[in-house]
């Protein structure tokens, strides 16, 4: 019996109350858009399926109508366990209004938990999340009053604390791939990442659930080599062909994103990418570039000849662009949590994509590498940080944001460099001549007495022996056993007026207090 069917037929396999495992990475990355829309259409026309629970590791959507926005309807959704929420303002609003149960999990934990569920093991036992919002002593991942479940518990093993993230059945996995042959074997050949497709399919298959895959192409039996098959046909229940499937919402297909270019074609593509990065480096100089220049200094003082690095969103994008513009990829190993190594990183709506990557791993494996301490340096943004060195990026202004891979990365990198501006809302700065001047202070202080939610735990960072820096356009801070220390100040900045008065706590001030290199603040 053929497993190929229409999206509408596959949507009919979902029952009321099912738990659905989803994948995607923002911008349309490996998103089964056609299937999502089919589920939405079924609900809007029949009011079924109802009361679904969704779990996803990374952000999915376009901030408008796609991705998780397809499921943001009262009655359709009951519960969401999401790694990252910002791509679906509609789902964020349902969470804020307590119309659904809202939870977060670290992105890596979510991917790895699917693998544990599929293997029939008693959940995921890990140190990741200790001391953060995912720790039941700090909220247990609950993001609103409607959320009552405990997703994890604290356990003791060999004298150490761990979190056990509890398993639950996955009734349906909706995954995406490039092609399927007549026997249902699945290939990712033309995809820009692997993400957690394999882990999700495994979880649903061994939960007694259904695996639905959306592909672009139907191939004859035997068309795929055994090593090209990433999910075997034995796991499949339904295969939906969408001939219009795109690599992203805006890009139909580009072999540079799927890492298929070799030889002269690849060399030409890499040269064009480098030229684009050099041109982008000429963008208007501002505080982002100043912080990125200072952060760049932290790459090559790790004691490693070629450190392994991860970049987050925000100011860390500018650090990645600086490396690319200077053609220094050969000096580092560049990674992102989606499973990709090397290449030219995209930003904005295409964060998670890389052109001409050198390797693509499954997300769960990438997070295994991170969790074991494989990262030398991580450059991450911050929403706010406090006197204990804890950082919040997961709930800002009362809105559920979620951590994505932030917790897994920040908690495990040997050195963590948080990059951002010292204040927000209404700030006016002037730089480019070797100094930084504050023309108008911000209405929102980001260096606070206590963060609204702990996405990175400063005390845990000390326990784990991490080197933790917090770099801003006005000064550089570091985590010490005595708390936060200001050890550098930007030229042109007044210590009291521009830094201390704009903080909710008083840091230690190093003596002597270094002045940053004025070159960081020159436009040329």
**Is 328 known to be catalytic?**
no
Lookup: tokens for 235: 């796991």
Q: How far apart are CA 336 and CA 393, in angstroms?
A: 18
Interatomic CA distance for residues 30 and 266, integer angstroms: 23
CA distances from 203 to 200, 363, 368 (A): 5, 15, 18
3-state secondary structure of 385: strand
Closest CA to 80 of 43, 53, 50, 48: 53
Query: Quick check: 325 and 278 in contact, CB under 8 A?
Result: yes
Instruction: Write the DSSP symbol of residue 506.
Output: P
Which helix (H) or strand (E) is 511 found in, with range? strand 508-515
- Per the CB < 8 A criterion, the answer to whether 471 and 295 are in contact is yes
| Residue 169 dihedral angles phi and psi, to the nearest 5° | -70, 140
The phi and psi torsions of 33 (rounded to 5 degrees) equal: -55, -45
Long-range contacts of 355-358 (CB under 8 A, 24+ apart): 355/254, 355/256, 355/257, 355/269, 355/273, 356/256, 356/259, 356/261, 356/266, 356/269, 356/270, 356/273, 357/259, 358/259
Measuring CA to CA, how many Å separate 4 from each of 197, 233, 238? 18, 11, 6
Q: What counts of helices (H) and strands (E) characterise the chain?
A: 11, 35
Three state DSSP letters for 122-174 = CCEEECCCCCCCCCHHHCCCECCCCCCCCCEEEEEECCEEEEEECCCCCCEEE
Catalytic residue among 101, 337, 473, 488: 337
What tokens appear for 24 in the block? 């995607």
Residues in the chain: 524
Instruction: Choose among 366, 374, 373: nearest CA to 405.
Output: 366
Q: Which residue numbers are catalytic? A: 337
């Amino acid at each position: 019996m053929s497993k190929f069917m229409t999206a509408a037929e596959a949507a009919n396999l979902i029952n009321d109350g099912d738990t659905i495992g989803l994948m995607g990475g923002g911008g349309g990355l490996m998103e089964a858009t056609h299937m999502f829309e089919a589920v939405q259409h079924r609900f809007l026309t029949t009011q079924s399926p109802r009361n679904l629970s969704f779990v996803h590791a990374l952000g999915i959507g376009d901030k408008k109508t796609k991705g998780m926005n397809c499921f943001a309807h009262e009655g359709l959704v009951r519960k969401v366990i999401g790694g990252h929420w910002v791509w679906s303002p509609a789902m964020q609003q349902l969470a804020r209004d307590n119309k659904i149960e809202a939870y977060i999990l670290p992105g890596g934990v979510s991917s790895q938990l699917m693998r544990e569920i599929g293997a029939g093991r008693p959940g995921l036992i890990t140190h990741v999340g200790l001391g953060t919002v995912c720790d039941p002593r700090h909220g247990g991942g609950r993001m609103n009053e409607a959320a009552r479940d405990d997703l994890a518990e604290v356990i003791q093993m060999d004298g150490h604390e761990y979190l056990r993230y509890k398993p639950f059945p996955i009734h349906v996995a909706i995954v995406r791939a490039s092609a399927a042959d007549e026997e249902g074997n699945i290939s990712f050949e033309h995809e820009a990442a692997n993400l957690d497709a394999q882990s999700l399919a495994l979880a649903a298959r061994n939960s007694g659930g259904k695996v639905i895959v959306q592909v672009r192409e139907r191939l004859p039996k035997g068309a795929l080599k055994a090593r090209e098959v990433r999910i075997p046909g034995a796991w499949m229940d339904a295969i939906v062909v969408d001939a219009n499937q795109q690599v992203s919402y805006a890009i139909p297909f580009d072999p540079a994103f799927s890492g298929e270019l070799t030889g002269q074609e690849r060399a030409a593509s890499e040269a064009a990418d480098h030229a684009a990065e050099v041109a982008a480096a000429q963008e208007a100089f501002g505080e982002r570039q100043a912080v990125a220049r200072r952060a760049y200094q932290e790459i090559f003082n790790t004691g490693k000849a070629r450190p392994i690095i991860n970049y987050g969103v925000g100011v860390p994008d500018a650090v990645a662009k600086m490396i690319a513009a200077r053609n220094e990829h050969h000096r580092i190993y560049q990674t992102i949590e989606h499973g990709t190594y090397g290449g030219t990183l995209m930003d904005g709506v295409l964060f998670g994509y890389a052109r001409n990557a050198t390797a693509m791993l499954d997300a769960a494996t990438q997070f295994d590498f991170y969790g074991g301490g494989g990262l030398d340096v991580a450059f991450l943004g911050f929403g706010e940080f406090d006197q204990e060195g804890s950082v919040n990026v997961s709930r800002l202004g009362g809105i559920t944001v979620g951590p994505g891979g932030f917790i897994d990365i920040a908690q495990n990198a040997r050195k963590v460099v948080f990059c951002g501006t010292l204040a927000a809302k209404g700030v006016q700065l002037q730089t480019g001549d070797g100094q930084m001047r504050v023309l108008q202070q911000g209405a929102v202080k980001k260096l606070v007495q206590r963060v609204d939610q702990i996405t990175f735990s400063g005390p845990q960072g000390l326990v784990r022996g991490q080197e933790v820096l917090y770099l801003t356009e006005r000064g550089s801070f570091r985590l010490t056993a005595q708390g936060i220390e200001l050890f550098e100040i930007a030229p042109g900045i007044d210590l009291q007026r521009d830094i201390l008065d704009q903080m909710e706590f008083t840091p230690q001030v190093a003596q002597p207090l270094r002045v940053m290199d004025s070159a960081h603040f020159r436009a040329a």
